[in-house]
Structure 1
Amino acid sequence: MTGIRTFWRALPREGRWLLSTVVVQTFGRGMTLPFTIIYLHEVRGFDLGLSGALMSLIAITGLLVTGPGGTLIDRYGARRVLLIGLLSMIAGCTLLAFATHPAVAAVAVMLIGVNFGVSWPGFNALIASVVDGEVRQQYFGVNFALVNLGIGVGGIIGGFFVDVHDPGTFTTIFLIDAATSLIPMALLLGPLRHVRTQADADAPADDGGGSYRAILRQPAVRWLTLLTFLAVFIGYGQLEAGFPAFARQVSGVSTQVVGIAFAVNTAVIVLLQFTVLRLIAGRRRTRVMQVMALIWAVSWVILGLTGLLPASLAAAIGVIAYMGVFAFGETMLQPTVPAIYNDLASDRTRGRYNAVNSAAFQGGAITGPLVAGVMLGEGLTIWFVSAMVAGSVAVGVIAIVLERVLSPVANGVIDTPAPLVDPR
């Protein structure tokens, strides 16, 4: 508790406002995220393939708008771009709540995708403008834990509330999702209305060094972007596709076990995130990524072994253990990667750097499920697990290469003898 109080006291007022509302902001998304495809297929009667395509439109739209969104953030500020994204989210969720035709649903999910595309770089740029140094790394970690808490609580309540035989229950959760977007809008229009993420108007003009081509020309950015893509491909890209498919088809566990595994994932992140932040404070971020890669490799080995004892208690325990171990690795990824991107960026380029981060994340989130579907659909279970383990090892190798081209400051090496926030 001392560490939490110390961290909270180190935050400026704007940072406290942002952090104190995260759980409520993400609660609505948690209510709808696990049940959107069920809503489209079982409630609205769309073909399962069409429902899956509609779901992919969210990520595809987000990926398409991320690049332009980053440029607009640097030119006009994150606050304005985020307000447009939140309005799009409210419109999309409201429209989806009443969508009875695929064309209407397609418009709705694309509106939601617009918000997804600008919210990641926008909020990361906003956070980086409010906090810096070691506090910034801790902020990203605590924010990640609170996001998981909000989504987890929302998912649990949504699971008890929705009923496929009562479309009104699904209409309600999508309207709640829309309503929760009003909270960050109120912050941006109120307490955070003076926060600037763009450079001052009298600052030197951009000489081209802030273009996406110039940013990606930097070796540190290229290796970091590759690491991000691969980490998401073998990590988050599998959580909603590869993992549940493997757990059901190969491990032979029940849907209840899969649900418990996701609950364990959330619990581990919420309970351990601050402890992990204390342990990694002042350490090289690339070394933390190497440890994370090793942990994820172990988690995939655990999941693979469950296939040797399908439909057994050991398989169920292994599936749950996989998610717990994987979550432990997550607590190391989320504080480090966004912090590196923002330490590499300037005020004039912060939106574009975060857009590169977002694009790499979304690219992994799109391709991960596609590869998992093909491999598991063809019965290549051993090759699938082997690919995930090899990918984890590759992340560790890339982190070693990244360390050689990354500046000490961006790598989290603190010049002062003590950290900005005493984590103990």
Structure 2
Amino acid sequence: MLYKEFTVLLNPQSRKIIFGICLNAIGGGMTLSLLLVYLHDMRGFTNTFGGLLLAYGSLVSIIASSPMGALVDRIGPKKVMIGGLLLNSAAAFSLSQVQTHFQAVIVITGLNIAGQAIWPSQSVILTRVTPERDRPKIFGFNFMLLNLGLGVGGLLSSLIIQRGDLLSFQIMYWVDACTFLLYLLIVLTLRGEHVNKYIPKEHEPKTGSYKDLFEIKPLMFLGIAGIILFTFGYGTIQAGIPVFATQFLGLSPKWLGIIFGVNTLSIVIFQPLVMRVIDKYSKYAALIAVGLVWALSWVFVGIAPYLPLFASGIALSLSQFIFAVGEMIQAPTIPTLANELAPEHIRGRANAWMSLQWSVSGVLGPAITGLMLGADLATAWIITMFIGCFLSIPLFLAMKRAAAVAL
């Protein structure tokens, strides 16, 4: 069985963390794609306000990442996660009650601060409780289960949500809030030195700072390259494909479920196979492959307008299958490399630095997409995204050279 090679690597601690992430992803999958719909249809906010709110949330994440990373190093990842999960649960519940613009801003602030508390913390714990040789497979397995949770959550939301029914949306957010509390109960059972503040060995520095982090050149290259790669990947896919498919190609919104469903299902099915393949190559070769594969996915987006309507939907679905292949290469590679390069006493800061890939690309990707598609430059947008996927490759090569010098 393909998944057995993952499950045998799990220990009691990593099993709890991965299960908690999957459980939490179910709540995220229910609400992730419906926030703008909820704010517009149920609360009467404009789509412009909703878009600005999402951009604001990404900016909050960027600002919060540094202090949260330092806090993980200072008091330990478990304590930071506990606070983050409590805040996230309260914010998810509060989202079901928002009635004013100000309330929405406060809730989104809480959600994004909480996210920056949770993600670096769980990455630190998962790294610490997993032997170095097993980390790529564990991060890959974690990514697969994360997508499984998102897929299940999306299916549940489609069963719960009723058009024009406020209560159905509120139930969705209440369930989301409960998943954070369930994850909290799991985190409370974690024991051992791996989940608490790291105690330096005699030969190790007693304290750390972001200055120490910035001096690790390979890690800096990895973070900046990741931001660029994600901007022309995740940042634009989520923002641009729905608009491109429905407004420029004329596809029914129902196609979006198929297009993104192909992506999620591919990851759940093929992650073990992809892990076996990339295990034969260096992590640096894998990183370069991500850019090449994601560029190929944009080729299929580019040919979609020249096909009949049904075939264009198939082309977009294929693009998301190819994009998923790149995701399955990236997911175990970037976090593994980041934690290999990060000293233990600043591991929280290192994972906070890497989390900027998501928050910065969450601002830049939609901004580029919105400007270009808003100006009716769909073809130029696709070409820009295609070229953009190659921009990270020189930085990955520079990272490889810097890592060789460091050794």
Shared fold, TM over 0.5: yes
Per the alignment, in what secondary structure is the counterpart of residue 197 of structure 2? coil
Q: Give the one of 214, 217, 227 matched to 1:219.
A: 217
Q: 8 Å contact 1:198–1:347 — kept in the other structure?
A: no
Structure 2 residue 347 is matched with structure 1 residue 347: no
Per the alignment, in what secondary structure is the counterpart of residue 406 of structure 1? helix
Q: Which residue of 2 aligns with 1:156?
A: 155
Q: 8 Å contact 1:287–1:399 — kept in the other structure?
A: no
In structure 1, C-alpha distance between the alignment counterparts of 2:304 and 2:6, rounded to whole Å: 40
Residues 408 and 180 of structure 1: CA distance in aligned 2, closer, same or farther (over 3 Å): farther
Per the alignment, in what secondary structure is the counterpart of residue 389 of structure 2? helix
Aligned 1:302-321 pairs, distance under 5 A: 302-309=300-307, 312-321=309-318
Q: 8 Å contact 2:55–2:362 — kept in the other structure?
A: no
Q: Which residue of 2 aligns with 1:413?
A: none
Q: Which residue of 1 aligns with 2:386?
A: 389
Residues 78 and 4 of structure 1: CA distance in aligned 2, closer, same or farther (over 3 Å): same
Structure 2 residue 291 is matched with structure 1 residue 293: yes
Per the alignment, in what secondary structure is the counterpart of residue 387 of structure 1? helix
Q: TM-score, normalised by structure 1?
A: 0.91
Q: Which residue of 1 aligns with 2:103?
A: 104
Residues 151 and 408 of structure 1: CA distance in aligned 2, closer, same or farther (over 3 Å): farther
In structure 2, C-alpha distance between the alignment counterparts of 1:252 and 1:298, rounded to whole Å: 23
What's the CA shift string for 1:237-272, capped at 9, x where partnerless? 012212222222333322111220010000011111
Q: Which residue of 2 aligns with 1:77?
A: 76
What's the CA shift string for 1:256-315, capped at 9, x where partnerless? 112200100000111111111111125211101122211111110110111223x62221
In structure 2, C-alpha distance between the alignment counterparts of 1:301 and 1:76, rounded to whole Å: 47
Q: Which residue of 1 aligns with 2:63?
A: 64
Per the alignment, in what secondary structure is the counterpart of residue 344 of structure 2? coil
Q: 8 Å contact 1:258–1:319 — kept in the other structure?
A: no
What's the CA shift string for 1:46-91, capped at 9, x where partnerless? 1221222223332222221110000000010000011111111011
Residues 387 and 197 of structure 1: CA distance in aligned 2, closer, same or farther (over 3 Å): farther
Shift of 1:120: 1.7
In structure 2, C-alpha distance between the alignment counterparts of 1:356 and 1:203, rounded to whole Å: 26
In structure 1, C-alpha distance between the alignment counterparts of 2:193 and 2:139, rounded to whole Å: 21
What's the CA shift string for 1:362-409, capped at 9, x where partnerless? 101211001100011112222211111111122233322322222599
Instruction: Give the AA of the match of 1:36.
Output: L
Q: Which residue of 1 aligns with 2:172?
A: 173
Q: Which residue of 1 aligns with 2:226?
A: 228
Q: Give the one of 247, 250, 263 matched to 1:249.
A: 247
Instruction: Give the AA of the match of 2:77.
Output: A
Q: 8 Å contact 1:70–1:351 — kept in the other structure?
A: yes
Shift of 1:219: 2.3
Q: 8 Å contact 1:75–1:198 — kept in the other structure?
A: yes
Q: 8 Å contact 2:219–2:342 — kept in the other structure?
A: no
Q: Which residue of 1 aligns with 2:29?
A: 30
Aligned 1:316-331 pairs, distance under 5 A: 316-331=313-328
Residues 331 and 202 of structure 1: CA distance in aligned 2, closer, same or farther (over 3 Å): closer
Instruction: Give the AA of the match of 1:406.
Output: A
Question: Relative to structure 2, which stretch is displaced further, 364-373 or 250-259?
Answer: 250-259
Question: Relative to structure 2, which stretch is displaced further, 58-67 or 91-100?
Answer: 58-67
Q: Which residue of 2 aligns with 1:237?
A: 235
Identify, as 1 or 2, the structure richer in helix: 2
Per the alignment, in what secondary structure is the counterpart of residue 393 of structure 1? coil
Residues 237 and 396 of structure 1: CA distance in aligned 2, closer, same or farther (over 3 Å): same
In structure 2, C-alpha distance between the alignment counterparts of 1:173 and 1:373, rounded to whole Å: 28
Q: Which residue of 1 aligns with 2:140?
A: 141
Q: 8 Å contact 1:64–1:117 — kept in the other structure?
A: no
Shift of 1:351: 0.1
Question: Relative to structure 2, which stretch is displaced further, 62-71 or 153-162?
Answer: 153-162
Q: 8 Å contact 1:57–1:113 — kept in the other structure?
A: no
Per the alignment, in what secondary structure is the counterpart of residue 195 of structure 1? helix
Residues 279 and 221 of structure 1: CA distance in aligned 2, closer, same or farther (over 3 Å): same
Where in structure 1 are there 5+ consecutive unaligned residues?
411-424
Question: Relative to structure 2, which stretch is displaced further, 382-391 or 318-327?
Answer: 382-391
Q: Which residue of 2 aligns with 1:261?
A: 259
Q: 8 Å contact 1:92–1:111 — kept in the other structure?
A: yes
Where in structure 2 are there 5+ consecutive unaligned residues?
none
Across the aligned residues of Structure 1 and Structure 2, the Cα RMSD in angstroms comes to 2.0
Q: TM-score, normalised by structure 2?
A: 0.95
Q: 8 Å contact 1:129–1:197 — kept in the other structure?
A: no
Between the aligned residues of both structures, percent identity stands at 29
